[in-house]
């Protein structure tokens, strides 16, 4: 597992074009490192990331189809979860621990399975129809059947399910 930290605490880690470039370089470096199976992205100071630094946004083209883009209004944690921009709200004191636990859960899975899941999610955002999305998912599953890591993961899952208490 690796940890990357956005470090502009004085600007709530607001991103600049330079930071996007650095983040892309680091993620590419980590992608090529077979020892890294999950990455935790954090922000220094009291906030994760305030979004794009508006002082650096003068060159942005006019915004396109959503309210948040049109208004540029802040979105706080509870609303971000409600509208699907974030998965959950975590207390400050528990944030690092929960992030590492989530990364560890992801890293337990076969690397190829995680990789194909990410590819499927990205590709299916623009899938023209449900049938195409289902076909892509089916191909990924077939590709994973011959992987030893998949066999091991399925065995672990079966063992975990057997260990789970049953309701009376």
**Domain formed by 2-107, architecture:** Alpha-Beta Complex (3.90)
Q: How confident is the model at residue 68, as a pLDDT? A: 77
d(CA 148, CA 68): 45
pLDDT digits (tens, 9 = 90+) for 15-63: 888 898 899 899 989 989 999 999 999 999 988 888 888 777 665 544 4
pLDDT per position as a tens digit, 120-155 = 888 777 777 777 777 777 787 787 777 888 778 778
Fill in the DSSP letter of residue 15. Answer: B
Contact 13/44 with Cβ under 8 angstroms?
yes
What backbone phi and psi angles, to 5 degrees, belong to 81?
-70, -45
Q: Which carries the bigger pLDDT value, residue 77 or residue 64?
A: 77
Q: Band the pLDDT of 167: cuts 50, 70, 90.
A: low
Rounded to the nearest 10 degrees, how much is the dihedral formed by the CA atoms of 14, 19, 25, 29? Answer: -50
d(CA 152, CA 115): 17
SS3 content of the chain, % helix, strand, coil (to 5): 55, 5, 35
- So what's the pLDDT on residue 59? 56
Report which secondary-structure segment, H or E, holds 90: none
Task: Quote the strand ranges of the chain, DSSP E.
Answer: 2-6, 39-43
In this structure, are residues 103 and 40 in contact, taking their beta carbons and an 8 Å threshold? yes
More confident position, 159 or 77: 77
The predicted structure's pLDDT at residue 16: 86
């Amino acid at each position: 597992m690796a940890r990357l930290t956005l470090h502009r605490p004085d600007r709530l880690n607001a991103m600049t074009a330079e930071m996007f470039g650095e983040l892309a370089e680091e993620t590419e470096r980590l992608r090529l490192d077979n020892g890294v199976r999950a990455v935790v992205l954090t922000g220094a100071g009291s906030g994760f990331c305030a979004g794009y630094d508006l002082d650096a946004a003068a060159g942005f083209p006019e915004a396109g189809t959503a309210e948040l883009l049109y208004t540029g209004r802040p979105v706080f944690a509870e609303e971000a979860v409600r509208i699907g921009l974030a998965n959950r709200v975590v207390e400050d004191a528990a944030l690092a621990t929960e992030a590492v636990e989530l990364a560890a859960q992801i890293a337990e899975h076969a690397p190829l399975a995680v990789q194909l899941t990410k590819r499927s999610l990205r590709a299916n955002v623009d899938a023209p129809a449900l049938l195409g999305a289902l076909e892509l998912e089916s191909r990924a599953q077939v590709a994973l059947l011959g992987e030893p890591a998949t066999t091991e993961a399925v065995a672990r899952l079966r063992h975990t399910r057997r260990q789970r208490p049953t309701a009376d």
